Amino acid sequence: MRAIPAIDLREGACVQLVGGSYDAERVRVDDPLDALRHWRGFGFRSFHVVDLDAALGRGSNAQVVTRLTSHEPGLAFTVGGGVRDTARVTALLEGGASGVVVGTRAIEDAGWLAEVTERFPGRVVVAADVRGREVVTRGWTAGSGRTLDQVLAVLEPLALGGLLVTAVHKEGQLEGVDLSLMREVVKRSRHRLYASGGVTTMDDLRALAAAGAYGAVIGMALYTGRLDAREVAREFAE
């Protein structure tokens, strides 16, 4: 399993929010490239970039995303946040992203998702943001009315690059992961699992690896120093 530092973008900066709430910003790095260089220095080579403003319809950090994905050859970036049309998927992939994360439209428009995964097989990752066991959309602000099991069944036949499953109820809390949720996804889906939400300790990472996760996205615990980045990279960076 690989550990993947999160670079969440808000108003041009790299931030960490508690529970995804704009009113609960705990970390801010004014230049996201500084965050990238910092984590790169420990040996991380894969990164997860999210445009929070685009996800919530509050603006765009597209230029910042381009600066990140074009900064250094050989790094892998999954990029998401407000990706709701094929043109944006195309632009991100052409701009250096290894994979594109689609959430709200992927959940709400199965026909479009089938079309875009056929066009870009293995490069589209679907974000299934889960609160309890309901999949939520629109920057975690709206319930979809669909359970995780229902969403996984629809996604199963598609040529996805993976599933990014975020335990929203754990995000930014530094209280550990929802391991039962991640085990359920591994059991029910053939797609790679990128686990997110609540990663706090090395034991969390080891448990996710044992459960069969392909990757673990880490945010708050790295940025606050709760996790030792050198130790994480030594065990879980590629």
Contact present, 14 and 32 (Cβ < 8 Å) = yes
Q: Is the pTM of this model over 0.85?
A: yes
Contact present, 236 and 205 (Cβ < 8 Å):
yes
Integer Cα distance of 209 and 237 in angstroms? 13
Could you tell me the pLDDT band of residue 19, with boundaries at 50, 70 and 90? low
The torsion defined by the Cα of 127, 113, 135 and 176, in degrees rounded to 10, comes to -20
Q: Is 129 an annotated catalytic residue?
A: yes
Residue 96 CB neighbours (<10 A)? 18
> Does residue 86 contact residue 78 with C-beta atoms inside 8 Å?
no
Beta bridge partners of 220: none
Catalytic-role residue among 8, 51, 53, 178: 8
Task: Tally Cβ neighbours within 10 Å of residue 31.
Answer: 13
Contact partners, residue 97, CB within 8 Å, separation at least 6: 49, 65, 69, 77, 78, 79
> Tens digit of pLDDT for each residue in 94-150?
999 999 999 889 988 999 999 999 999 999 999 998 887 778 765 555 555 678 889
For 140-176, write each residue's pLDDT tens digit.
Answer: 555 556 788 899 999 999 999 999 999 887 766 677 8
223: left (phi over 0), alpha (psi -120 to 50) or beta: alpha
User: Which CATH number covers residue 176?
Assistant: 3.20.20.70
* Ramachandran angles phi, psi of 158, nearest 5°: -80, 155
Reply yes or no on whether 85 is catalytic: no
Domain that holds residue 218: 2-237
Above 90 in pLDDT, residue 238?
no
**Which one of the listed residues 51, 53, 129, 204 is annotated catalytic?**
129
pLDDT tens column, 72-94: 999 999 999 999 999 999 999 99
b/e sequence 123-141, b meaning 16+ C-beta within 10 Å: bbbbbbbbbeebbbbbbbe
**Which of 190, 227, 195 has its CA nearest to residue 211?**
195
Average pLDDT value for the chain: 91
Strands 76-80 and 99-102: parallel
| Distance from C-alpha of 30 to C-alpha of 12, rounded to nearest angstrom | 7
The number of domains in the chain is 1
70, 94, 177 from 32: Cα distances, Å: 13, 21, 26
